[in-house]
Structure 1
Amino acid sequence: MSATRLLVLGAVRIHGTAHGYLVQNEFLAWGAHEWANVKWGSIYHALKHMTKQGLLTQHEVNDGSWRVDYTITPDGDAEFLRLLRTALAHPEHRPDTFAAALAFFTALPRAEVVDLLLARIGALENERDEKAKHAADSAQRSHGVDHITELFGLWATTAESGIAWTRGLVDRLRSGQYVMADDDPRAFGTLGSGGTPERHP
């Protein structure tokens, strides 16, 4: 899954109408260039490619700036939500996709995010157990390369850490932390009336 795709759709969705420079500035404000490896060229490529796919519409602004504005389509909104739900529920070894999902998880209802994160915990538990078994099996049959078990051990420990953190987020959500889509339809990452969502702390 492309973190850039999710981020660009989400950024356009937040603003209702956005141009490439605005999207880039949004990502800079979030520090996305550090945790999602989003580059200037990839933003414009994503905008143009998703316009061809019918996920965005574009129109030129006739003010002498030659600016092109983009809005999200119903298909684009469906794709954004699909990418968001998938990234929350299914662990990937690339952290940028999950980081992108964390930028927008308030766009979903609280109970749904909890369910998606519980599915993520289940997948991480399976991964942890599988890697721990690989580590044990590798240690038994290694022939001068027993150090390779450290790799499986790293993966198992990383999965365990992810489980602990995700459980903490589930607890915080259950306690009512964060403004979610079902708390306020204008929650961050959620289209409000008139397509102009507001930001909440």
Structure 2
Amino acid sequence: MFACSCMERRYRTLRFKVKKYLKSEKRKNTWMGRCLSSEIFDERYWLWRKHSVAVGAGWGAASAIAPVPMQSFWGIAACLWKKGNIPVAVFMAWLSPPGFIVVAVPLQWWLGWWILRVLGFDGSGASISMLKEVVTGIADNFFLAPLDGVNYWMFGVEFSLGVILSCSLLGVLCYGLTYGIWSLVDWWKSRLHADDVSGKEN
């Protein structure tokens, strides 16, 4: 119970500092300030509530493994759409470590390839080893030589399906875990409160 109140107090302090910084950026008329919408400062997107935090965690986690630049901004956009907690979404989007794309991209492609294969579709002809060569090669010098002879249209379908499924599954999992843990803590707090009340009555 004490840990939960400490976490909420720290969150409120962080929220105050971030809002102050973002407002100063808007006043300075910097590039970042111009990109920020006034909607971001709406209280609805900063609430420390079970549903809001769970939605932010889900969208942030989904953005963290998406093969897109600036994953935090995608998490923020999703929270503006679904009224999630923006700081939680940004934090979750930062959880993917540097170089994670080298592992994520081949696995996401493999997931899409496996689903389509189970459904009876012909594959693109790509393989995990090809993908690893491409991903590690792009970091040094953009080239797609390892994918020679691959059906690019089918490869795109496989990869897109894998990305959509993996991001959705991780997002739903993080939403469920956050919501479930919060509900468990609330139940535990209510039980402690009930025990305190019954103890005083006795």
Same fold (TM over 0.5): no
More strand by share: 1
More helix by share: 2
